[in-house]
Amino acid sequence: MSKTLLVTAFPNGGSNTTAGATEYYWLVGHINKSSTEAQRDILFRTAGTLSGLYVRVQTNATSASSTVRTRKNASNGSQTITIGSAATGEFEDTTNTDSVSAGDKLCVQTITGTGGAINFRSQSTIFDATTDTCTICANTGPVSTTAASTTYYYPISGYNGDLTTVSA
């Protein structure tokens, strides 16, 4: 068994939720929301367990509690975090886990309270593969390769930037 930390992050100011909305995020890669769950599902090819759902809230203008939870195959997962109105800081579910089978699709769901948005700086969870060693990498973000005869470089994991030169 091996543990892999799955992290979503946004380096330039975080990602804002929409007040009173249900939105979905990838489990790994760029912290980028969608109102459509299927657009943020990640297909797991290895069985294991997810644990330690974590979020870092940079700002919170809500006037009601918000919920962050895992989603598995379009149903609520076991891990849940409740963020109180206007609460900021680090929040983690240290009790619950989600069993993952090969072929399951998973993501993170937020249900933002009314009155304002929450700004997430990062989200994470831990994947513990049942057998062998497993590393999960995601390359997310916009891709536009429309220029003819141009070589583009993308990171193995992280946010796409359509770079035409290799950066350190």
User: Cα–Cα–Cα angle for 55, 60, 61, nearest 5°?
Assistant: 155
Write the CB contacts of 142 (distance below 8 Å, at least 6 apart in sequence): 160, 162
Q: Pick the range with the lowest mean pLDDT from 64-73, 74-83, 104-113, 130-139.
A: 130-139
The β-bridge partners of 2 are 129
Q: For the chain, which domains are there?
A: 2-136 (2.60.120.40)
- The per-residue pLDDT for range 134-163, each reduced to its tens digit, is 655 555 555 555 667 776 555 555 554 555
Q: What CA–CA distance (Å, rounded) separates 74 from 14?
A: 25
Write the CB contacts of 52 (distance below 8 Å, at least 6 apart in sequence): 92, 93, 94, 124, 125, 126
Q: What CA–CA distance (Å, rounded) separates 5 from 28?
A: 9
pTM value?
Answer: 0.80
Chain centre to alpha carbon of residue 118: 15
User: What is the full DSSP assignment across 57-94?
Assistant: EEEE--SS-EEEEEEETTEEEEEEEEE-TT--EEEE--
- Determine whether 141 is exposed, middle or buried from the number of CB atoms within 10 Å of its CB (0-12, 13-18, 19+): middle
- The per-residue pLDDT for range 71-98, each reduced to its tens digit, is 999 999 999 999 999 999 999 999 999 9
